[in-house]
Chains A and B, each alone.
Chain A
Amino acid sequence: MAAVAAIEPDTELMLRVQAGDSASFGLLLERHRGPLIRFLYRMVQNAAVAEELAQEVFLRVYRARSSYVPSAKFTTWLFRIAMHLALNNLRDAKGERADDSLDRETEDAPRLQVADRSPSVEQRLVENARLLEIRRAIRALPDKQRAAVLMHKYEELEYSQIAHVLSCSESAVKSLLFRAYETLRGRLAHMA
């Protein structure tokens, strides 16, 4: 435990938060806000919900400060909470999503100006369609595969960290990733 605290700056910061130093919490927030919101956004595919969930994650971290034990990397702990919340959100929203899936898909896309008839509008339409397909392909992955891909591809977490977040072995993570990338490759082959 002491070794983990000595080598991991985040753990050290969290231990300072535990001791009542709120400035250290600010530093943790500064460091992890971006990656966490990005991960949650790509998981739930809704910017407002992602920010709401990220706030909940940091709130839970703050609440747990007094009982914090540095048993794993801070990032792993953070992503574990985030994934748990994201999966709960997806489960709860499953019924609603069937009705408004189209609205949800376009709500975070850049707004197009109708009056703007320049060629860039067409380009942007094509680009939006492309992004929509990528988002759909990722959304269609099973939850665990999707989380694994997002942590591996975008957040560059190590296999051991992903394994800890997903509560499975490293070899299971590798095979999850391999299957997920194969599926994505098949779905996006026409675009590549």
Chain B
Amino acid sequence: MECPIEARGKKDLLLDYCAHALDAREAAEFETHLASCAACKAWTQAHMRTWTLLDDWQPAPVSPDFDRKLYQRIAAEQARLSWWRALWRSLAARPLKPALSLALAGLIVLAGLLFVRPAPPPPVHKAQTQEALDADRIEKALDDVDMLRQLGTSGGSNSETM
């Protein structure tokens, strides 16, 4: 058996042995190791002494009215809850329903006014602008062509006349 003090992750074996949490086979195996390992023996004995010391500390007994106090608190809480439930029921009762709906609608409108800001103007799309510019240019170019044609016609007649 590997020494629990020297092996990594085996120290719980020492704790479990001292807490009597090992099964019979594991305990017997450890005791065989213990007989030949001075370090484990010293550790176990010292730990057992501490363990026994800790046994001496016993807490005070529970108050006899612990349950009564607890049930009182639970009853008080339930009473508080049922008060809220009753209040809610009376608020949700018929005659108040239109008033509640109005109040709710008012709240929604108010929230809308407070939180919904006017949307900024939609950005002009670059492609649209480009398209408009291109149409202008084409139109201008066509006008120029027309003008040149007219000039050419009149120029030709001019030369003929000259």
Contact = CB atoms under 8 A, between A and B. Distances in A.
Interface string B1-42: 000000001011001000100000000000000000000000
A34 B77 CA distance: 24
Interface of A: 29, 33-34, 37-38, 41-42, 47, 50-51, 54-55, 58-59, 62-63, 108, 130-131, 134-135, 138, 152-154, 156, 159, 171, 174-175, 177-178, 181, 184-185, 188-189, 191-192
A51 B50 contact: no
B59 A55 contact: no
Contacts of B15: 152, 174, 177-178, 181
Contacts, number: 79
Main secondary structure of the interface of A (DSSP, over half): helix
Given A55-B69, A153-B19, A192-B50, 16 more contacts: A37-B66, A41-B59, A41-B60, A47-B59, A47-B60, A50-B59, A51-B62, A54-B66, A134-B56, A153-B54, A174-B15, A175-B11, A181-B50, A188-B53, A189-B46, A192-B52
Interface string B47-86: 1011111101101101100110110011001000000000
A134 B53 contact: yes
A35 to B, nearest CB: 10
**Tier of interface size on chain B:** 20 to 34
A192 B55 CA distance: 12
Nearest to B60: A47
Most chain B beta carbons < 10 A, residue from A37, A59, A131, A192: A192
A180 to B, nearest CB: 10
Contacts of B63: 51
A134 B57 contact: yes
Contacts of B52: 192
A171 B12 CA distance: 9
